[in-house]
A and B are shown apart, each in its own frame.
Chain A
Amino acid sequence: MKAKHQRMTLVVLALIAIIGAGLIATWALRNQANYFYLPEQMAAEPPAVGQAVRLGGMVQQGSIETQADGVTVNFVVTGNENSTVPVTYSGILPDLFVEGSGVVAEGHLQADGTFLATNLLAKHDENYVPRELEGMEGHKDNSDYIETVAGNP
């Protein structure tokens, strides 16, 4: 190899690998683009049965029903429009999971049209909202919280 040759080879190989990684990432992310669904999207173009997706929306008032086994919960997620998706979840409910509040359900759609959730993400605490749910309800953010404290004599 000539003097400048090896360095060039290295640079080219590194570039190929990095560009390869970029292409794989872009391709994989494209396939993931539908990963998050709102109820109206799920009604309009449902994902394939069994495909792992996330469903985000509000828990409909009065829809939470605990089944006889004590651990399975059925509820309905609504979106901005009137579309609704029934959800089944077995597990311990997140600490801030209540009716009328936002939720992100991870899981997949079943053949009967119910969404089987394997994990529920609710508000983590008063200030932390799953990113997908921002703007869906009037979340109190940190700033007026701080102001309340600051103005408190």
Chain B
Amino acid sequence: MIAEIGLAALWLSAALAVLQMVSGAFGLRADGAQMAAYARPAAVVQAFLAVLAFCMLLWAFAITDLSIKLVATNSHSMKPLIFKLAGTWGNHEGSMLLWVTVLAFSGGLIALLERRLPEKTMSATLGVQGFVALGFYAFLLLSSNPFERLPVPAVEGSGLNPLLQDIGLAFHPPTLYIGYVGISVAFSLAMGALITRQVTPDFAKVMRPWVLGAWVFLTLGITAGSYWAYYELGWGGWWFWDPVENASLMPWLAATALLHSVSVLAARDALRTWTIMLGVLAFSMSMLGTFLVRSGVLTSVHAFAVDPERGTFILGLLGLYIGGSLLIFALRAGSIAEGKRFTATSREGALVFNNVMLSAILAIVLLGTLYPLLTEAFDVRVSVGPPYFNPAGAIFAIPMLIVMAIGPLLRWKSDKPARIQLELSILAAIVIAVVALVAFLGDYSILPILGLALAVALGVAAFLPLRGRNLMRLPLATWGMVVAHFGIAVALFGMASESAFTSEKLAAMAPGDSTEVAGWNVELLGVEPVAGPNWTAMEGRIAVARGDEAPTIIGPQARNFWSPPQPTSESTLVTRLDGQLYVVIGDQAGFDENGAARWQVRVWWKPFVTFIWYGGLLVSLGGVMAIIGRLLADLRRRRAKTKGDERREDVAALSDEAMPEPAE
């Protein structure tokens, strides 16, 4: 029954998406108000049904209903409950259902809550949202039905990829999807505004919380994914320039640019078409991300299924949405009047510069990601890795970081660089001092040195806008900016420090042996077999101590999962304020001279590596503060407006009795 309820709910919501699209389109006609009234209820009910369908699938996974094909191929009755639930989106169909559910939910949310936009713009927005949703319903129902039954129920499920059996799976995909999909709402709003020619600061104020929200979730999703890969894959790396990672980075870059440009539009009524263009770009990137990850073009842990039909389907959707939106953009962009002007040395100027730099980095990442796919068409196999991405990205990232430090110090509209001479010289001095210091300390490559110097300068610069302002009266949104910019500095510091100062030791050790890395003493006490609910493992008991401190006992494991059969290595991390010790145990490596078995142990000391993820969290926190600040300000304004209206009514009523005019 569960599967049938879920499937029926899904079909009904697809039908409602059609209704939403059609009635949204009617809203654009002068006489369409009657039809247009259906758009909002359709979106809300659709959200309810999609959530219902998703809950049904969750339930099927929770009770391991093996008559459903998806459960049988991806779950196992012996799995811990949390991984059964998280396994719902650890496969192609389930994750697409999650995607659609989030899409429908956010569509319902905007239909329910948003009252500020002109009715026509709202109709167009809901219509576009319905159109986008419809494509994904079609994709789910026609080519990847999550509720498909098996003719005969399976005896036992075939299990979930052990790499995915981790708490990270419970958080990483949902946050990333909320981010991707939040961008689709921003896109629908941008399209709605473009179609009805209402690209105004008011529209930007409506769009801003959606962009901010999506961006916060993308940031969290990328941060979580990076940390997950770091500790789960056991290679000690935190970013691999894997195409799937790039697929999440590209929408983030576009969303970051959009976020700043929409703020300029809201505050200054400048950059109108630019904002719309970035909205289209951000959505295109999140569609492209979905295509890369879900079509089977790429093989990785993320590409669950290789099925050309699905790839073609998503590619078709991609072409339809991106092509359609570019067409509307081309037709309408000319009719949008230019916004307010500004000079090159103004805050707008700095923001535009960084928008362009972000787009350039995006182009670098995009080309690097697609290039191997293109050459493959000519049967040439190429790998594109860090030697390409790091320097090519840095060419644009370094100017961007410099302008990012200076931009918030500039005034809106026009400013003289001479006014902030003092700040500029402080920042320049910091950069030079750090470069000199690090170059003096040792022989490191150029990018990490520059990274460290810029990180320190940016960390200081993040707080400079607070100078001379009353901290108690500073808007929460401005604090959000300060925190987010500081977060970027912190993350950059972690990245540069990790690449410059990591030390590493690899040894074959018998119980009782010890080795040393960066002041840490690592002693292997013993190796024992252990077993978990669906795996067995060899666990090393290792005592680690820095200097004279009391040893910490840790237990890295080499695990063997038995369904599906696959070995993984479980690293252990010892976290200190100034970095992390990363320990992995490998295979048995022969015997020492006394005949005792030796085991491979690999240890890294990574100074300040944790700053990368703390930075990511700070950036998200800054985003959350900005959202809360904006919403509170909006509520206050609404309340003030209601009060003002009441007072004016009172005054109007009183003035009938010939009272003197109030001073207001």
Query: What separation, in Å, do the CA atoms of A13 and B356 have in the docked complex?
Result: 8
Known contacts A10-B352, A92-B600, A149 near B235 by CB under 8 Å? no
| Nearest-Cβ distance from residue A123 to partner chain B, whole angstroms | 10
| Nearest-Cβ distance from residue A34 to partner chain B, whole angstroms | 8
Contact partners of B367 in chain A: CB under 8 A? 22, 25-26, 29
* Closest residue of A by beta carbon distance from B564: A126
The verdict on B260 contacting chain A, using a C-beta distance below 8 Å, is no
Contact partners of B385 in chain A: CB under 8 A? 35, 54, 106
The verdict on A82 contacting chain B, using a C-beta distance below 8 Å, is no
The verdict on B520 contacting chain A, using a C-beta distance below 8 Å, is no
Contact of B360 among A6, A20, A56 (CB under 8 A): A20
Interface of B, secondary structure class, is mixed
Contact partners of A1 in chain B: CB under 8 A? 341
The verdict on B41 contacting chain A, using a C-beta distance below 8 Å, is no
Q: Is the CB of A6 within 8 A of B341?
A: yes
Interface of A, secondary structure class, is mixed
The verdict on B345 contacting chain A, using a C-beta distance below 8 Å, is no
The verdict on A33 contacting chain B, using a C-beta distance below 8 Å, is yes
Q: Is the CB of A124 within 8 A of B301?
A: yes
Query: What separation, in Å, do the CA atoms of A126 and B566 have in the docked complex?
Result: 8
| Nearest-Cβ distance from residue A33 to partner chain B, whole angstroms | 6
Binary interface profile of A, 10-50, with partner B (CB < 8 Å = 1, else 0)?
Answer: 10011001101110111011001101100000000000000
* Closest residue of B by beta carbon distance from A95: B567
| Nearest-Cβ distance from residue A121 to partner chain B, whole angstroms | 10
Query: What separation, in Å, do the CA atoms of A54 and B567 have in the docked complex?
Result: 24
| Nearest-Cβ distance from residue B361 to partner chain A, whole angstroms | 8
Q: Is the CB of A7 within 8 A of B338?
A: yes
| Binding stretch for chain A, among B109-117, B198-206, B389-397, B433-441 | B389-397
- Chain B, range 369-424, C-beta contacts under 8 Å to A: 371-372, 375, 380-385, 387-388, 391-392, 395-396
Query: What separation, in Å, do the CA atoms of A81 and B612 have in the docked complex?
Result: 45
Q: Is the CB of A69 within 8 A of B381?
A: no
Q: Is the CB of A153 within 8 A of B152?
A: yes
* Closest residue of A by beta carbon distance from B161: A125
Q: Number of residues in B with C-beta < 8 Å to the partner?
A: 67
Contact of A71 among B73, B235, B384, B507 (CB under 8 A): B507
Contact partners of B234 in chain A: CB under 8 A? 92
The verdict on A119 contacting chain B, using a C-beta distance below 8 Å, is yes
The verdict on B534 contacting chain A, using a C-beta distance below 8 Å, is no
Q: Is the CB of B602 within 8 A of A92?
A: yes
The verdict on B163 contacting chain A, using a C-beta distance below 8 Å, is yes
Contact of A152 among B154, B273, B368, B568 (CB under 8 A): B154
Q: Is the CB of B299 within 8 A of A18?
A: no
The verdict on B37 contacting chain A, using a C-beta distance below 8 Å, is no
Q: Is the CB of B298 within 8 A of A25?
A: no
Q: Is the CB of B69 within 8 A of A36?
A: no
Query: What separation, in Å, do the CA atoms of A25 and B395 have in the docked complex?
Result: 11
The verdict on B331 contacting chain A, using a C-beta distance below 8 Å, is no
Interface centre among A6, A18, A71, A93 (most CB of B within 10 A): A71
Binary interface profile of A, 94-121, with partner B (CB < 8 Å = 1, else 0)?
Answer: 0110000000101000000000000100
| Nearest-Cβ distance from residue A104 to partner chain B, whole angstroms | 8
Q: Is the CB of B298 within 8 A of A131?
A: yes
Contact partners of B388 in chain A: CB under 8 A? 28-29, 32
| Binding stretch for chain A, among B180-188, B463-471, B586-594 | B586-594
| Nearest-Cβ distance from residue A118 to partner chain B, whole angstroms | 11
Contact partners of B564 in chain A: CB under 8 A? 125-126
Interface residues of chain A, those whose CB is within 8 Å of chain B, are 1, 3-4, 6-7, 10, 13-14, 17-18, 20-22, 24-26, 28-29, 32-33, 35-36, 52, 54, 56, 66, 69-71, 90-93, 95-96, 104, 106, 119, 124-129, 131-132, 134, 141-143, 145-146, 149-150, 152-153
Interface residues of chain B, those whose CB is within 8 Å of chain A, are 69, 72-73, 150, 152, 154-155, 158, 161-163, 234-235, 273-274, 298-301, 304-307, 338, 341, 352, 356-357, 359-361, 363-364, 367-368, 371-372, 375, 380-385, 387-388, 391-392, 395-396, 506-508, 564-569, 584, 586-587, 589-590, 598, 600, 602
Interface pairs (25), CB distance under 8 Å: A7-B273, A10-B352, A17-B396, A18-B359, A18-B360, A21-B364, A24-B395, A25-B392, A35-B384, A35-B387, A36-B382, A54-B383, A70-B598, A91-B586, A92-B506, A92-B584, A125-B163, A125-B301, A126-B564, A131-B298, A131-B383, A132-B381, A149-B73, A150-B73, A150-B154
Closest 5 CB pairs of A and B: A70-B508, A92-B586, A70-B589, A21-B360, A25-B367
